[in-house]
Structures are given as structure tokens and as C-alpha cells.
Amino acid sequence: MTVIRTAEGAEESGHPPANRAALRRRLLACREQFALGADAATAQRALTGQLAQVLRELEPSSLGLYWPVRGEFNPCDAPRVAGCTSLTLALPFARREPREMHYRRWNGDAPDAVDECGLAVPAQGAAVVPEVVLVPCVGFARPGFRLGYGGGYFDRWLALHPHVTAVGVAWSASEIAPPDWRAQPHDQPLALIVTEAGIVA
């Protein structure tokens, strides 16, 4: 995979939403293809190691994870690799109407339900606000912005919880070249982004 460099620079300029959606589709297709390739397992191990180091440095008491879909990095082993065995874990739970998201406390077992957006979640679990949350990125742009799935769930949640440390998680090849990205007013910056190649400040 290579860094996405698109001639559709206006797509990320905050003007036609459909164009941002086109870039999202391209990035998703590249990511899903990569996840099926020979390098995916090596990248998974490398990113787990990078993320584990970040968790050791942050030392959170509670951590919001996500259950991976569509070629996303699986972050669920990182707390164990980091030695953070006493962490309170949580997974996001999203609703369509009203469109909102919160985190549910999670025991680490395979989720036994799905939310209204079809994502795996614990069927039961107290609502929590994690100290650190790991945010999956369809694409990312320096310095610390992400392109998500288009629903705005994470952006709205982060706007309501500015004290939370948000760590983006992405494959390095999903970086969007500078000419092709301009943040929109609703985009919430991340504290840092972690890839298999290292940390993006």
C-alpha cells in the first residue's frame, strides 16, 4: 500500500460532502485489500507493539477500545502486551436515532450483541467515560486529524469529552497527502496517531 495521493483535492477541502465520501470508499477498498495480503500479520504485530508502548507511557486507568471491522487493526491485544492487565475496558455503543455514542464497560470477552450501527458490543455494561480512547481511522492527515466512516459519532463524542486523550489508530498507508486534506469545522483533532511505522504527532 502507498500513501493515498488523490487528484480530488477538493474532496477534502470541506466543500462537496460526496467527494469526501469518494475518498473514504477508496481508502476502505485499499485497507480491505491490504488486510487480505501477506503483510497484514506482520503489520498487526508491529502496530500492537507501537500501541503497547504508547499505553505504557500514558498509563491510563480506563481504556476505550473498538471491535475491528473491514480490515481495521485489531487493538484488543495491546493492553495485555503493554502489561496493563488491571485496566477498565470499554467498547463504543452507537444509536442511530438520536445519533449518539457512549462507551459500555467491557470484560474483554467476545462481544455478544450489536448496536444500532451493526458494530459488536457487550449486551450489558455500565456507561463509562474512558480516560483514553483508541479511535479507528479510515484515513488520517497530519497533524492529527482523521477521516472516519462519515457518521460523526466519534467527533461528537470527543467534542463532549475534551478531557479524554484520543489516540488514532491506522495503517500507515492510509495517510492522506497534505494537498488533499483540509479539516472541516466538526473534525476533532486527536492527541496522536499510531501506525505500524510509528507515532504521527
* 192-195, strands of its sheet edge to edge: 127-128, 100-106, 88-95, 62-64, 132-136, 165-169, 192-195, 198-200
Rounded alpha-carbon distances, angstroms, from residue 54 to 75, 83, 134, 141, 190: 12, 12, 11, 19, 14
Residues forming beta bridges with residue 113, ordered by sequence position = 121
β partners of residue 105: 90
Q: What does the pLDDT average to over 56-77?
A: 97
Question: How far is CA 38 from each of CA 32, 35, 77, rounded to the nearest angstrom?
Answer: 13, 8, 20
CA distance 179 to 146: 15
The 3-state DSSP class for residue 93 equals strand
Look up the pTM and report it.
Answer: 0.89
pLDDT of residue 20: 84
Phi, psi of 150 (to 5 degrees): 100, -5
SS3 62: strand
What are the C-alpha distances in Å from 124 to residues 44, 51, 65? 29, 27, 16
Residue pLDDT, tens place only, 2-49: 444 333 333 333 434 558 888 899 999 999 999 999 999 999 999 999
Rounded to whole angstroms, how far apart are CA atoms 145 and 138?
Answer: 11
Give the mean pLDDT of 68-96: 96
Q: pLDDT value at position 85?
A: 85
Residue percentage of the chain with pLDDT more than 90:
81
Instruction: State residue 111's pLDDT score.
Output: 95
**pLDDT recorded at residue 87:** 94
The strand pair at 198-200 and 139-141 is best described as: unpaired
89 vs 200, which has greater pLDDT? Answer: 89
